[in-house]
Chains A and B, each alone.
Chain A
Amino acid sequence: MLADMAESSPTAAGTPGSATDEAGLLARLRAGDDAAYEELVVRYAPQLLTVIRRYLPEEHDAQDALQEAFLSVFKAIERFQGDSSLATWLHRIAVNSALMRLRTRRRRPEKAIEDLLPRFAEDGHRADPRAVWSIRPDEASVNRELRQMVRAAIDELPESYRTILLLRDIEERTTEETADLLKLSPANVKTRLHRARQALRELLDSRLGETAR
């Protein structure tokens, strides 16, 4: 099976993903070697599909975006300069492909974010006492369940807010880059990012219950 190749042992050309291995693969791709193209797709498709699914939870959208991403890669492989690793370059193309798909597909209604924003008393001060979060963020690096829980909470954000949070906080794109990619003003990106973080905080607050209270 094609997918089984993703788990194959390191080759004599180097450990998969290593610079030596990458240079060898690139040389074969540029030479038009069919087997190299198959190796590229089989090796990188799983991680690229994982990245794309963050933006496009519906499987058919994600698969279409993956296919479009690889077609872009095939077209551009000659021009790849090696300024970043191959994996990083592919990752960026996959994100761009997901964003393109988000822009071109029919817009779907999304849930309102207002229910996930903090509430205040009429005088503008906090109506409810806040729970203290005793958790340390670095716990996530050793706590698999916590990472899964945070990922699930991010998935719950309304799509347009999740996209901005992913681009700014996870991909670490600048406000201007994000604005450009999403055809929004920088001010709008900032407002939406703040709301996305507030909403995610709210979702985590309810899930971190025992840890936080």
Chain B
Amino acid sequence: MNEPRCEEHRHDLTCREICEFMMAFLDGELPPEERAVFEEHLSLCPPCVQYLDSYKKTIALGKQAMADPCGIDAPRPPVPDDLVKAILAARKKQA
């Protein structure tokens, strides 16, 4: 089976540049002309489309995984009693 390949080799914009400007593209910070060139590359380059998809999923997965630090599965090793005592003792000194 043939792997999807970039058909954009004959154009000026490379996959490296697509990768470089990906965040600006997603943040809507590319000027209209550059955005059009970016989108044209994507229309011809399945690997860049796949990379963009996985880049967006990476951001979303990070948010999901870290959203709730107190969640039921979040690692919450106990706080040592000595540390709690030290914090409370430091308050007394601070007062």
A129-B47, A150-B64 are known contacts. Are A198 and B84 too (CB-CB below 8 A)?
Answer: no
CB distance from A199 to the nearest CB of B (A): 9
Q: Does A108 contact B (CB under 8 A)?
A: no
Partner of B91, one of A37, A45, A146, A197: A37
* Dominant SS among interface residues on chain B: helix
Which of B19, B58, B81, B88 has the most chain A CB within a 10 Å cutoff?
Answer: B58
Complex interface bits, A158-169 against B, C-beta within 8 A gives 1, otherwise 0: 000000011001
Task: Determine the chain A residues whose CB is within 8 A of the CB of B3 once the complex forms.
Answer: 129
Task: Determine the chain B residues whose CB is within 8 A of the CB of A212 once the complex forms.
Answer: 54
Task: Determine the chain B residues whose CB is within 8 A of the CB of A136 once the complex forms.
Answer: 57
Q: Does B6 contact A (CB under 8 A)?
A: yes
- Would you call B65 and A125 a contact (CB within 8 A)? no
Task: Determine the chain B residues whose CB is within 8 A of the CB of A74 once the complex forms.
Answer: 91, 94
Q: Does A133 contact B (CB under 8 A)?
A: yes
Task: Determine the chain B residues whose CB is within 8 A of the CB of A45 once the complex forms.
Answer: 79, 83-84, 87
**Alpha-carbon gap, A60 to B9, bound state (A):** 52
Please name the residue on chain A nearest to B8 by beta carbon.
Answer: A125
Please name the residue on chain A nearest to B76 by beta carbon.
Answer: A46
- Would you call A150 and B65 a contact (CB within 8 A)? yes
Task: Determine the chain A residues whose CB is within 8 A of the CB of B66 once the complex forms.
Answer: 54, 150-151, 154, 166, 170
Complex interface bits, B82-95 against A, C-beta within 8 A gives 1, otherwise 0: 01111110110010
Task: Determine the chain A residues whose CB is within 8 A of the CB of B33 once the complex forms.
Answer: none
Among A101-150, those with CB < 8 Å from B are 118, 120, 123-126, 129-133, 135-138, 140-141, 144, 146-148, 150
Q: Does A100 contact B (CB under 8 A)?
A: no
Q: Does B23 contact A (CB under 8 A)?
A: yes
A3-B81, A124-B15, A125-B15 are known contacts. Are A190 and B73 too (CB-CB below 8 A)?
Answer: no
Task: Determine the chain B residues whose CB is within 8 A of the CB of A131 once the complex forms.
Answer: 50, 54
Among A20-28, A62-70, A78-86, A177-185, the stretch in contact with B: A62-70
- Would you call B62 and A150 a contact (CB within 8 A)? yes
Please name the residue on chain B nearest to A166 by beta carbon.
Answer: B66
- Would you call A133 and B83 a contact (CB within 8 A)? no
Instruction: Name B residues whose Cβ lies closer than 8 Å to a Cβ of A.
Output: 3-6, 8-9, 14-17, 19, 22-23, 45-48, 50-51, 53-55, 57-67, 69-70, 73-81, 83-88, 90-91, 94
Closest 10 pairs between A and B when the two form their complex, measured CB to CB: A124-B14, A137-B60, A140-B64, A150-B65, A129-B3, A130-B50, A201-B58, A124-B16, A45-B79, A147-B65
